[in-house]
Every structure is written in structure tokens, then in C-alpha cells.
Amino acid sequence: MFSLVSQVRKSQYYDSAVLMQLQKFLSKLEGVLDVGVLMGTDANKVVLIQSGLHTPDIDIVSAEDLIIVVKGIDDASASSALKQVDEFLLSPKQNKVGSYRPKSLDTAFRITPQSNWVFVSVNGRYAPEIVDRSLDTGKHVFLFSDNVSIDDERRLKEKALKKGLMVLGPDCGTAIINGVGFGFANRVKHGKIGIVAASGTGLQSVAVAIDNLGEGISHGIGTGGRDLKEEIGAITCFQALNFLNDDPQTELVVLLSKPPAIKVVDKLMNQLLLMSKPVIILFIGSKPPTRQLGNVYFALSLLDAAMLAVQVLHAKADESGMNKCPRISMLHHQQYVRGLFSGGTIAYEVMCILKNTLNDIYSNIPLEEKYRLKDISQSHGHTILDLGEDEFTVGKLHPMIDNDFRIRRIVTEANDPTVGIIILDVVLGFCAHSNPAGELADVIAKVINTAKTQGRVLSVIALIIGTENDIQNSKVQTDALYAAGAIVVNNAEDLVLCVSQILSPTNVDGSVLSGFAVDAESFTKTISVINVGLELFYEALISQGVPVIQVSWCPPANGNERLIKLLNRLKKDNEDAERDR
């Protein structure tokens, strides 16, 4: 028998990294079998039910409430663990000693007037106000927060455009500005190739491949995944292209995204043909109209985009060797592939290539709507999941940071007797998990051996995005995964090749893009940052020697919706009274 106890903390806010640390702390206590530390969203309640951590009092909590559930070997162990929650949250470790941390954004603006970037990674409900205020003070914004409405995104980007500023995001996880890695960036060589990407892991994949081919990156500008939708109109994309077209460091530009809206494509092509520099385009999943149109080149994959960029830059190809995949004989009923990805663009590219050899690939980011999973907790046939999408990350850390949910899902998929192959990505770099293979290797070895004892052959293929210079060291990660029995590749094409083998018996005179001018000086001078949200970003910037200040931010009224509405009403009344005087 076991004991299940829970605690609900009404309208309490903590940094998601702190919640992850709390969960790991409680999990290591004596007599504790399992732990859940989540915000009370509907999706998270489902996760608790599936994990066997559901208690009746959880049903009535709201999305603003913090849920802590402990599964212990007995009542005493579970209750003892809960009693240590406050001790952990109030410990010096969680109140880090370091440079001065202002409690308000206004104070941060006042004491760091030289700052030119604000990083925002708070709950999406509160992010727009912080972005607004940052733009008002002349700062560019790196907006990692998700769950920001598309109307707010459009409004904020239009506001930034008028001020000559840029909003990278929302849901922007990666950028490389003037040699500094933002968010989940890799440590790559500085060079002559600029990247504009509506995808964080897409940017990482191309930047790493370019680095491996011996070239480097001038700037890598993430736009956020929705920027090329019709509702947004590619505002940040056009700003980035304009900037890189004029940037003396940049000699060639790579543009990558999932397929944009038709109206956006038409406008984009008209502008790209006016650029004075070669442009490599990859719209993942779209059939290129041709290999080259004037100064614009069309790539077929993330790896091809990198290779084509280097080829065009140096007028010669730099061939990449293909990894060899072993021949594996599976049982006839092991016919399905399950993909568990932290990078949405990587997952999307894999599906686009796989669709040529596999039929009916289901997903939460499907290539066609008819293949959208009805229940994301239950795979169907061939299934490829982007675990970094909103429905999986609300109230939880991104899978690049925390492997806990992906590990649980690996076990679930491996227990399905119809599954023959599990594929996943392992994304390295700043802010990513410090040793992802250290956790993933254990579960990979376990599920492979379990399948073997049941008379099945289970193949696990891991795609590593990273370099040996990353803190995690791609070679160390590769060796650990190999030792666990995984097949390891470093690009999506090799991954799909392995899956298939296992399953089988003119230059145009340039001009500046009109209407999208950017304050270029603030991009090329020393980067100075105000960070509001995840301390992972703060620590990554510190490790790069970047001047940065961390704001000790918490939501208004500690997230209490009723009090927030009251405060907003009082604020509006005061503003109305001031106008009437």
C-alpha cells in the first residue's frame, strides 16, 4: 500500500525552475515514491490523473493555484515530505545571493539605463504589460513567454516597428545577437551567415550545422513561431531581413520557417528579390518551386539549408558524411514509430520527410488537420509529438529543461507492443538541461532491455543538436546514449534514413526593405540585458560575460485574479480623474 497526500496553495506564484527543483528535492526524500508539483490547469490535472497522483481536492483548484502531491510508502512519509516544502522554498538556495536584484521593472530601467534588451519569460498573461513598458523605454525584447494572444502579439510588434525596435517572440526560445546566445542557443563560431528563424530549434539546427561545416553566424534572429502567419504579417521577419541586408558582418542570409501564410509568401518573395545578399529559404514541408530564383535559393531540409549556405558563400560544397544505421529485424506486429520531440521544427521536419515512406502520421502539430490527435495523452498509429507545444508546457518546464514528462512518455510508448521505433531529439546549449543523456540513457536502456525480455526488439534513435563546445559536450552525450543502446544521429535526414532502413525487409541589385527599419546600433554594440523571469537565462548570460540584471518579479496581487481586476479598476479610475483635472 501507499499514501497519497496533497496540498493546494491558492494564488501562489513561483518561478517554474524553482518548482522543478522543489519536485526533485521532494522526490529524493526518504519514503517518497513519486511527486507532482504543478499549476492547477486542466491539462496538468490530466497529467496528475495519468501519473496516479490525483486526489479529490485537486478537482476544484484554478489555473492560478499551486498543487503539490506526494506519494509515499505510508502516511508519515508523505506528510513529512509536505512539511518540508516551506523549508525548501525559503532556504538560502532559493533566495540566491548575488548582485542586487530590483523588485520592480521601473527600478531596473532606472539603474541600468545602458541596457538595450529585456528578456521576458513570465506567465503569458502578464508578459504583454512588461513588453509594453520595455518598448516605451527604448528596449528590444526577447519574449520567451508563450500563451500570449495573437492580438497582443500583433499590437506589440506594430508598436516596436514604429519605434525601430524588435520583439523576438512570443514563444521565441533562441537568438544569437552579436555573438551572444539568447535562450537555448549554442556556442557557435562568429561568421558571415545571418539566420532569420520562426523556430528556436530550427535556428539551433542550422547554426550548429554551419558551425560543423567550418563557418559561423553573424546574427541569428528568432521571430517567434507565429510571425509568418497572416494575422501577424511577418513583421519581425521583415525587420530582421532588413537589418541583415544592411549589416556589414553578414554576407548571406538563411530564412527558415514552417510554411507561411500564402499572402505572406507573396509579399516576402517580392522583398527577398530586392535584397543585395544571397538568401537561402527553407519553408519546411513545402515543395520548393525551383532550386534558385535570382539571388534566392531554396533548401530541402535544415541540413541542406546549412550546406547550401556554405556552398553559396564559398562557391563549393562541403559534403557531410551519413551515419550508418544497423539492420534490425523486428516482429511483424511492431509496425509503428513514436516520436517524442522537444523541438517543434525538428518534429515537423521529421514528419515532412517521413511522409514519403510512412502513411498516416498523427501528431499534435499535424501536417494535415485530419491527422490531429484527438487525445494527446494517447498515441495512435505512427505518432510524432512536439512536447514543447503549449498544451504540454502550461504550468510545467519546457522539455529542453526538464526530462521528467518525456521519460514517463517514453515508458508508455515502449510498453505498446505494436511500437518498434522510438525517436527523439536531444537539444544541447545554453539553458538546456545540463546533462540530458544522463537521465535519458537510463530509461532508454531500461525500455530496450524490457522489450528484449518480452521477445521484442525496440529501437531508439536519438537526434543530437549541439557541439562539443556546448557545456553538455555533444560527444559526451553521444557516448552515453550509445552505451544505453540508442542509435545516435546529428540531423533529421540521417534519422529518417535509419527509420526507413529499420522498417524496410541570379543576383539582383539590392535595396533596403522599405518600412522595416531597425535601430541597428543597439544590435551591434555591447549587449546589456534586464531579465524578467527564468533565472536560467540570467545565468547563461552571466556565463557569457554579458552585463545583466535579474528582476525579482512576481505577478500583481500575487496572481489573484479578483484583486488584479480591482487594482486595474482603481488604476483606470485614477487615470480618468487625472484627465478630468
> Which pLDDT belongs to residue 581?
56
If 0-12 CB within 10 Å is exposed, 13-18 middle and 19+ buried, where does residue 20 land? middle
Q: Which residue has the higher pLDDT, 533 or 59?
A: 533
Model confidence band, residue 556 (pLDDT cutoffs 50, 70, 90): low
| Side-chain-facing half-sphere of 22: CA atoms under 13 Å | 28
Residues 6+ positions from 344 with CB-CB distance below 8 Å: 199, 201, 225, 365, 386, 388, 389
Question: Are 15 and 534 a contacting pair, CB within 8 Å?
Answer: yes
Question: Are 367 and 355 a contacting pair, CB within 8 Å?
Answer: yes
- The domains located in the chain, with CATH, are 3-94 (3.30.70), 105-319+519-551 (3.40.50.261), 336-503 (3.40.50.261)
Cell of 408: 514517463
3-class DSSP state for residue 91? coil
The arithmetic mean of pLDDT across residues 278-293, rounded, is 86
Cell of 501: 532502413
> Which pLDDT belongs to residue 565?
58
The arithmetic mean of pLDDT across residues 553-580, rounded, is 59
Q: Give dist(CA 431, CA 569) in Å, integer.
A: 38
> Which pLDDT belongs to residue 509?
36
Q: Which residue has the higher pLDDT, 49 or 244?
A: 244
Tens-digit pLDDT profile for residues 203-244? 999 999 999 999 999 999 999 999 999 999 999 999 999 999
CA distances (Å), origin 109, targets 104, 140, 223, 359, 461: 9, 13, 24, 54, 47
Q: Which of 218, 219, 220, 221 is nearest to 192 (CA)?
A: 218
Lowest mean pLDDT among 20-29, 125-134, 185-194, 214-223: 20-29
The arithmetic mean of pLDDT across residues 521-529, rounded, is 85
> Which pLDDT belongs to residue 321?
38
> Which pLDDT belongs to residue 578?
58
Q: Which residue has the higher pLDDT, 561 or 66?
A: 66
| Side-chain-facing half-sphere of 323: CA atoms under 13 Å | 20
Q: Which of 164, 344, 182 is nearest to 236 (CA)?
A: 164
* Residue 65 amino acid letter: D
Q: Which of 15, 26, 92 is nearest to 53 (CA)?
A: 26
Residue 92 reports pLDDT greater than 60:
no
Beta pairing partners, 452 = none
Model confidence band, residue 318 (pLDDT cutoffs 50, 70, 90): very low
* Residue 299 amino acid letter: A
Residue 43 reports pLDDT greater than 90:
no
**Rounded CA Rg of the chain:** 24
Tens-digit pLDDT profile for residues 156-178? 999 999 999 999 999 999 999 99
Residues in the chain: 581
Tens-digit pLDDT profile for residues 474-511? 999 999 999 999 999 998 888 887 887 787 653 333 34
Residue 382 reports pLDDT greater than 60:
yes
Q: Give dist(CA 216, CA 207) in Å, integer.
A: 8
H helix or E strand, kind and range, residue 565? helix 561-580
Residue 188 reports pLDDT greater than 80:
yes
CA distances (Å), origin 290, targets 193, 346, 555: 22, 23, 50
